Amino acid sequence: MRYTGLIEKYRDRLPVGDNTRLISLGEGNTPLIKLENIPVLLGKNVDLYIKYEGLNPTGSFKDRGMTMAVTHAVEEGSKAIICASTGNTSAAAAAYAARAGIKAFVIIPEGKIALGKLAQAMIHGSTIIQIKGNFDDGMEIVKEIADHAPVSIVNSINPYRLQGQKTAAFEIIDELGAAPDYHCLPVGNAGNITAHWMGYTEYKDAGKASKTPVMVGYQAEGAAPFIKGSRVDNPETVATAIRIGNPQSWDQALKLSKESKGWFTAHSDDIILAAQKLLTEKEGIFCEPASAISVAGAMIDIQSGKIPEGSTVVCTLTGHGLKDPDTAIGQCDQSAMINVNPTLKEVKKAILDNM
């Protein structure tokens, strides 16, 4: 059967009617890849999987929520959607609005979104409103805008977003035949970790899994309100996707962390970038910096024994590496690029010198 997106696949668990027009780009159904080389490097016996959400249609997990949010907005007769974004939500909103034939307005922090995400928002024809402020400033405006303009909010405060995103947990259980012991995620607004917990608990309550995982959330050191215990006014990190100081799903995330016996930890930009590079060089998997923090954090917690040997661990790689080419190129050794004349002799020399 042709795969036609996550609403069709999980429609009995989603708020959608029989006659609803589905706005889908075939999102979901992303690969769960077992890491082969990193566990060996760690010298630890763990089953470590990544859920490669960067392979969604617009290159991030946001498509899971956006298919639901835009489907609902269109059903309600909305002609325009709006979001504040660190980049990926804007890319998804722009694409799904294009598909639906409605307008998208995206509020982004000037100069602080990765190039690929900006390209997506522009090419899909959204109206981009750049602010001299950060994501949190944009979010405050979006929360008030619906009283002033005829637009539907598609940030994760829209409950339909989390409904769509919870399907990632369904897919993992459907594929592994059980919930993992640990699920590690990058945390910004904390919508995605909340959605995963919804999915895991829903499947457990339905008898489709015997347990729920321990939920582990990682934040960048310069944008770590959950570790600080209060909002951060000027968040800063190379992982621009999670450059957020005032998470909208604060209460839900604290509650689920406690219920699942999980924890939040912060890691530095250097650790994030090193994990991004390790994944590309040792596993052939390219994710954006924010995503790499899930593997960076899991590696540290496996090494310390906080995540014990024998565990099954899933790390979500939330966005594709191509989203942020500048950061990727910036952390590569430029000497890997060899300039030669177009002759057999010079190309052969370049190969033999570098074997």
* Contacts to ligand F0G by CB under 6 A: 60, 62, 85-89, 156, 186-192, 241-242, 288, 290-291, 318-319
For ligand F0G, give the closer residue by CB, 191 or 225: 191
Given the complex with ligand F0G, which of 24 and 318 has the nearer CB atom?
Answer: 318
CB of 70 to ligand F0G, least distance (A): 15
Of residues 44 and 188, the one with the C-beta less far from ligand F0G = 188
- Side-by-side strand order, sheet with 312-317: 32-34, 47-52, 312-317, 182-186, 214-220, 263-267
- Cβ proximity to ligand F0G: between 24 and 291 the closer is 291
CB of 113 to ligand F0G, least distance (A): 8
Dist CA 239 CA 288 (whole Å): 8
Q: Tally the C-alpha atoms within 13 A of residue 193's C-alpha that lie toward its C-beta.
A: 38
CB of 45 to ligand F0G, least distance (A): 28
Q: How far is the CB of 44 from ligand F0G (least distance, A)?
A: 25
B/e letters for 61-79, b = 16+ CB within 10 Å, e = fewer, are bbbbbbbbbbbbbbbeebe
> Which residue spans within the chain are E strands per DSSP?
32-34, 47-52, 80-84, 103-109, 127-131, 152-153, 182-186, 214-220, 263-267, 312-317
CB of 337 to ligand F0G, least distance (A): 28
Task: Count CB atoms within 10 A of the CB of residue 292.
Answer: 31
Could you give the CA distance from residue 305 to residue 338 in angstroms, rounded to a whole number? 43
> How does 250-274 read in b/e, with b if 16+ C-beta sit within 10 Å?
bebbeebbeebebbbbbbebebbbb
Provide the pairing of β-strand 80-84 with 152-153.
parallel
Identify the bridge partners of residue 20 per DSSP, sorted by sequence position: none
For residues 152 and 189, which CB has a smaller minimum distance to ligand F0G in the complex?
Answer: 189
> Which of 44, 271 has the CB closer to ligand F0G?
271
| For ligand F0G, the closer CB: 44 or 52 | 52
Query: At its nearest, how many Å lie between ligand F0G and the CB of residue 153?
Result: 13
CB of 18 to ligand F0G, least distance (A): 30
Three-state SS annotation for 275-322: HHHHHHHHHCCCECHHHHHHHHHHHHHHHHCCCCCCCEEEEEECEEHH
CB of 208 to ligand F0G, least distance (A): 24
Q: Which is nearer to ligand F0G, 71 or 192 (CB)?
A: 192
Structure tokens at 2: 């042709």
